[in-house]
């Protein structure tokens, strides 16, 4: 009986498909070098095509790749130099190639994976060296949400030994964080049984930094009431304004009380690599755990979150398990014994490649450039009476608003945010700071130029005047 051909075969030679895909990638990269005049809308023909039912028969591979390119061109690409919304990734070219290679080999970093384990370990050690953090172990994750959850799982196990097995047994416990803490910390509290309502919103100072004295008082009050402190979550660059909590003072609070200090540096920690901003992060080395998202201000594509911890013991206590289908070789520990994930792609490769190809100094220069762009934009805002700066930038987030005489400014600025998105020349997200609606550009793209920064201000003035 003749052997059957595999069903899943390309209809052209592999080399032809690869060459076509490579050309599509090259054209995309070229399109990111300069801003384009607007974002093409998703037209009706594309909507109809993307609502079609599944087909039983094949589509020619080159046609399908071209269709994918059209979809991507009509999607919001964060690597574009005038994408200022949220905290975006830049899609660094060498890291894109790293992702392609990793996907091709499909290594699973849940179990012992040979050299891939060593690359992940080395990359985490490199980050520890760069940030001056005494990392003992760590893990790559999908991002800050999973990294924060992982760190707080370890903190819970240290504060309440055996809780991973027995649950909290009705014992009240709490987390302590800035009033501007990222939503992922509240989600972690929900999923770990701590409870969203037990994330203490610690008051912030005039610079929107967590007050260490108020944090200490909250911990002491909870302990007196029989509430177990799980961890203090300090933010090294809040998503809302870029504020950096006083890490050294909070480390004192935690050390004196035996409480875990976790630093959420998903967005802002890379600024610690720049001499002008490194003092803001004094005390980082004293934290029990630290997170950073390389897919934010280290420019690699999503997803590439990193967790570093000072002591390996607590991650292992929180996650080590015996599963007969997971082989444990003598003297080796599977990554799944210190992470939440079982199927875990080789995320470290793209950052490892990026650091190898460009070197740390190039990253420092790119981060410094973004910090300079944020200061430039703040100065451009202050030049015009129609614009109002809502605080000097600490990192690279610059909240501001457009002032229109005789209009409700909150309504006006929310409408302006929507108009900017519809216009498409620049992309900016809106936000509320203490109930005040504003625009919140964030400068974290190595492709962004000073000219792009000036265009952002000018487009805001143009559209704001039309709405006024």
pLDDT in tens, 126-141: 999 999 999 999 999 9
The confidence score (pLDDT) of residue 323 equals 73
Please, what is the average pLDDT of the chain?
95
State the pLDDT at residue 411.
Answer: 97
Q: Say what the pLDDT of residue 131 is.
A: 98
d(CA 290, CA 252): 16
Q: Could you give the CA distance from residue 48 to residue 54 in angstroms, rounded to a whole number? A: 13
- The predicted pLDDT at position 294 comes to 98
Q: What is the per-residue pLDDT for 6?
A: 76
Q: How confident is the model at residue 326 (pLDDT cuts 50, 70, 90)?
A: confident
Does pLDDT of 394 surpass 90?
A: yes
- The answer to whether the peptide bond before residue 436 is cis (omega within 30 degrees of 0) is no
Q: How far is CA 401 from CA 375, 382, 389, 412, 436, in A?
A: 16, 11, 7, 9, 9
- Answer whether residue 332 shows pLDDT above 70: no
Percentage of the chain exceeding pLDDT 90: 92
Neighbours of 356 (CB within 10 A): 12
Q: Tell me how far apart the alpha carbons of residues 241 and 392 are, in angstroms, rounded to a whole number.
A: 9
Q: Select from 195, 197, 202 the least CA-distant residue to 180.
A: 202
pLDDT digits (tens, 9 = 90+) for 339-392: 889 899 999 999 999 999 999 999 999 999 999 999 999 999 999 999 999 999
Euclidean distance between CA atoms 154 and 146, whole angstroms: 13
With 90 as the cut, is the pLDDT of residue 5 above it? no
Read off the pLDDT of residues 162-189 as tens digits, 9 standing for 90 and up: 999 999 988 999 999 999 999 999 999 9
pLDDT tier, 4 (very low <50, low <70, confident <90, very high otherwise) = confident
Per-residue pLDDT at 450: 98
User: Structure pTM?
Assistant: 0.96
Closest by CA position to 141, among listed 291, 363, 300? 291
**442-468: pLDDT as tens digits:** 999 999 999 999 999 999 999 999 999
Per-residue pLDDT band for 331 (boundaries 50, 70, 90) equals low
Report the alpha-carbon distance of residue 369 to residue 441 in Å, rounded: 15
Whole-angstrom distance, CA of residue 305 vs CA of residue 265:
10
Alpha carbon distance 420, 422 (integer Å)? 5
Alpha-carbon dihedral sign for residues 89, 91, 94, 98: positive
Sheet of strand 387-389, all strands in order from the earlier edge strand to the far edge: 387-389, 400-402, 436-439, 430-433
Q: Tell me the pLDDT tens digit for each residue of 224-267.
A: 999 999 999 999 999 999 999 999 999 999 999 999 999 999 99
Is residue 177 within 8 Å of residue 232, measured between CB atoms?
A: yes
For 406-440, what is each residue's pLDDT tens digit?
Answer: 999 999 999 999 999 999 999 999 999 999 999 99
94 has pLDDT over 70: yes
């Amino acid at each position: 009986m003749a052997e059957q051909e595999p069903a899943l075969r390309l209809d052209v030679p592999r080399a032809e498909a690869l060459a076509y895909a490579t050309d599509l990638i090259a054209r995309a990269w070229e399109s990111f070098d300069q801003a384009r005049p607007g974002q093409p809308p998703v037209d009706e023909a594309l909507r109809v095509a993307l609502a079609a039912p599944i087909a039983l028969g094949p589509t020619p591979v080159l046609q399908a790749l071209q269709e994918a390119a059209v979809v991507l061109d009509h999607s919001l690409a964060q690597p574009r130099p005038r994408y200022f919304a949220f905290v975006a990734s830049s899609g660094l070219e060498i890291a894109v190639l790293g992702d392609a290679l990793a996907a091709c080999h499909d290594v699973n970093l849940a179990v012992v994976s040979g050299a891939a384990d060593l690359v992940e370990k080395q990359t985490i050690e490199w980050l520890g060296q760069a940030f001056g953090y005494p990392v003992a172990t760590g893990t790559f994750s999908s991002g800050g949400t999973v990294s924060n959850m992982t760190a707080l799982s370890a903190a819970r196990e240290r504060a309440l030994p055996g809780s991973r097995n027995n649950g909290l047994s009705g014992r009240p416990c709490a987390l302590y964080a800035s009033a501007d803490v990222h939503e992922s910390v509240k989600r972690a509290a929900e999923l770990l049984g701590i409870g969203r309502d037990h994330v203490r919103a610690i008051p912030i100072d005039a610079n929107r930094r967590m007050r260490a004295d108020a944090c200490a008082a909250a911990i002491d009050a909870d302990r007196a009431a029989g509430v177990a402190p799980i961890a203090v979550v300090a933010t090294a660059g809040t998503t809302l304004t870029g504020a950096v909590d006083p890490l050294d003072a909070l480390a004192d609070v935690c050390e004196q009380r035996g409480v875990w200090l976790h630093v959420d540096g998903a967005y802002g920690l890379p600024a610690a690599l720049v001499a002008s901003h490194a003092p803001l992060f004094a005390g980082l080395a004293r934290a029990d755990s630290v997170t950073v998202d390389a897919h934010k201000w280290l420019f690699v594509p999503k997803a590439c979150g990193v967790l570093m911890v000072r002591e390996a013991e607590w991650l292992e206590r929180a996650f080590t398990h015996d599963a007969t289908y997971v082989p444990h070789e003598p003297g080796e520990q599977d990554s799944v014994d210190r992470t939440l994930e079982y199927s875990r792609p080789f995320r470290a490769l793209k950052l490892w490649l990026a650091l190898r190809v460009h070197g740390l100094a190039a990253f420092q220069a790119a981060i410094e450039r973004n910090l300079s762009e944020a200061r430039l934009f703040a100065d451009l805002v202050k030049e015009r009476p129609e614009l109002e700066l809502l605080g000097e930038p600490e990192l690279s987030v610059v909240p501001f608003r457009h002032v229109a005489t005789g209009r409700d400014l909150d309504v006006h600025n929310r409408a302006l945010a929507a108009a900017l998105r519809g216009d498409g020349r620049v992309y900016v997200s809106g936000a509320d700071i203490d109930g005040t609606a504003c625009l919140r550009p964030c400068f974290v793209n190595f492709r962004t130029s000073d000219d792009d920064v000036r265009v952002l201000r000018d487009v805001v003035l143009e559209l704001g005047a039309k709405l006024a």
